[in-house]
Amino acid sequence: MAVVLLPAVLAAEAGGQKRFDVAAETVGEALRQLPVRNLLFDETGQLRRLINVYVDGIDARGGRLLDEPLSPSAEVRVVGAVAGG
Amino acid sequence: MAAVLPVGTRKGLFLLRGGDGAWDVEGPMLPGWSVFHAVLDPRDEALYAATNNPFYGATVHRSDDLGKTWERAEELALPEEGDLKLNATWHVEPGQGSELWLGGDPGVLFRSDDRGMTWEVNRGLLDDPTRERWQPGAGGMCTHSVQLVDGAMYVGISAAGTFRSEDGGDTWAPLNRSVAAEFMPDPYPEVGQCVHKLLAHPKRPERLWQQNHCGVYRSDDRGENWERLDGNGLPTSFGFPLALDPDDPDVAYVIPEQSQEHHYSAEGRLGVYKTTDAGSSWQLASNGLPERAWVAVLREGLAFDQDAIYFGTQNGSVWTAPRGAGRWTEAVRDLPPILSVEAAAA
């Protein structure tokens, strides 16, 4: 099972749960299983613009993003984009 | 009298409880969310918050235990097939029966019949034929005012104007005659006015008031015609918040700002202005407020109930005065920037 880690605000919205074990073949499939999926995706199904996703420490936006394949041992980290000072 | 004030801030929600000079502060609740507006539903004491986050979008939260635990809307979005996306939630308004209304950006209105868990967009407003002539104000294209009186529904949208529906929201009529839009090539268009706050008087429902980008207005005929009121004692025509007296339809309050370029209190003082003659004249009602101040009070930042009037500032102070605004006292200071204040009986 891959692991998805959420930042504090999303974890609070998920009943306080920060870590989720998910069976999924892609990043998108994993994120859509989460109870906070409507905070991650807009109404067109697009990942919100200021959300970054790292798979085993590598920015998935630099790859295939939601179609990025997941191994069962993968760690997916959801992070709000950092901007400014 | 005791009161509960839901105070929405840029950094969560606070509940102020008290009155008679002593206030307890609970919070922040919903940390990480900007609370554009929060209200206690008088029907069942559910606490609703219009919540926004730059990363995670716009939603609504509900608490049935005064903020100890929260539930988030499960379905709140614009139709997938359209070009519009929900940019922000702005105002929650309890309605009749099971109705709950929600105004949002881009100029949209939602209805919920299950206490805010699922929301259906109002197609009449979404598909309004004048929508192509609407444009966003500086705060976005927000449906920020929702008024339900005498069988009619009114919305105020910046910058589209005031609209009324008499068929439960199926169709909407623009109500902007004689309301200026001085930033437009035609300064009196059918739509495109930048209403900043719209209120109907609860006991005289044909009387509407609005603080607009271009003046303060009153209508005595359900918005068909408007009279501009800001030349008779107000320091400027520009501002955002508006409050009424719950019983006297001739009394209203505004807090003018310097100008559309300079969003701080007019003339360098924190000035609440009051009319007791339906806007024919305005008097400063700032006893107790700082005489040198450059602060802002946002459109949802001014509230009233049977006993008192309340406002919150962008620099985190909540001020209260007994009804009539004879003397102001600072109830709380040093909160995060305040976006909204509402008042409910304790």
Residue spans of the domains in chain A: they are 2-80
Is pLDDT of B62 > 70?
yes
**Architecture of the CATH domain A2-80:** Roll (3.10)
Per-residue model confidence (pLDDT) at position B286: 96
Average pLDDT over residues A9-34: 96
CA B138 to chain centre: 16
Chain A positions touching B33 (Cβ under 8 A) are: 9
Q: Where does the pLDDT of residue A85 fall: very low under 50, low under 70, confident under 90, or very high at 90 and above?
A: low
Q: How far apart are CA B238 and CA B224, in angstroms?
A: 22
H-state helical runs in A1-76: 8-13, 27-31, 37-40
Burial class (CB in 10 A: 0-12, 13-18, 19+), A73: exposed
**B53:A9 CB<8 A:** yes
In percent, the amount of chain B with pLDDT more than 70 equals 100
Query: Structural domain of residue B40, as residue ranges?
Result: 3-345
pLDDT tens column, A44-78:
899 999 999 999 999 998 878 899 999 999 999 99
**A43:B79 CB<8 A:** yes
pLDDT tens column, B176-189:
999 999 999 999 99
Among A12, A43, A50, beta carbon nearest to B55: A50
- The residue with tokens 């929060």 is B38
Q: What is the DSSP letter of A46?
A: P
Is the separation of the CB atoms in B303 and B309 below 8 Å? yes
CB neighbours of B335 closer than 8 A, spacing ≥ 6? B7, B9, B14, B25, B312, B316, B317, B318
CATH number at residue B100: 2.130.10.10
Sheet containing B71-72: which strands, arranged edge to edge? Answer: B34-40, B47-53, B57-63, B71-72
Per-residue model confidence (pLDDT) at position B19: 76
Report the DSSP pairing between strands B302-304 and B283-284.
unpaired
CB neighbours of B132 closer than 8 A, spacing ≥ 6? none
* Cα–Cα distances in angstroms (integers) from residue B6 to residues B20, B28, B97, B198, B244, in the given order: 17, 11, 23, 20, 19
Average pLDDT over residues A9-29: 96
Average pLDDT over residues B231-235: 93
Nearest one of B29, B34, B32 to B16, comparing CA atoms: B29
Per-residue model confidence (pLDDT) at position B6: 98
Per-residue model confidence (pLDDT) at position B277: 98
Q: What is the DSSP letter of A26?
A: B
Average pLDDT over residues B14-40: 94
Among A9, A43, A45, beta carbon nearest to B56: A9
Per-residue model confidence (pLDDT) at position A84: 61
Average pLDDT over residues B186-200: 97
Q: Which amino acid makes up residue B239?
A: G
pLDDT tens column, B111-161:
999 999 999 999 999 999 999 999 998 889 999 999 999 999 999 999 999
Query: What backbone phi and psi angles, to 5 degrees, belong to B249?
Result: -70, -5
Q: How far apart are CA B104 and CA B255, in angstroms?
A: 24
Average pLDDT over residues B163-181: 97
**A36:B55 CB<8 A:** no
Chain A residues contacting B via beta carbons under 8 Å: 8-10, 12-13, 36, 38-40, 42-45, 48, 50-51, 80-81
Does this model's pTM top 0.90? My answer is yes
Q: Where does the pLDDT of residue B74 fall: very low under 50, low under 70, confident under 90, or very high at 90 and above?
A: very high
Count of beta carbons in the 10 Å neighbourhood of residue B79:
11
Chains A and B form CB pairs within 8 A to the count of: 48
The C-alpha of A45 sits at a distance from chain B's nearest C-alpha, in angstroms, of 8
Token representation of residue B108: 């949209």
Per-residue model confidence (pLDDT) at position A82: 79
Per-residue model confidence (pLDDT) at position A56: 95
Nearest one of A30, A36, A35 to A56, comparing CA atoms: A30
Provide DSSP, B196-232.
Answer: EEEEEETTEEEEEEEEETTEEEEESSTTSS-EE-TTS
Per-residue model confidence (pLDDT) at position A83: 65
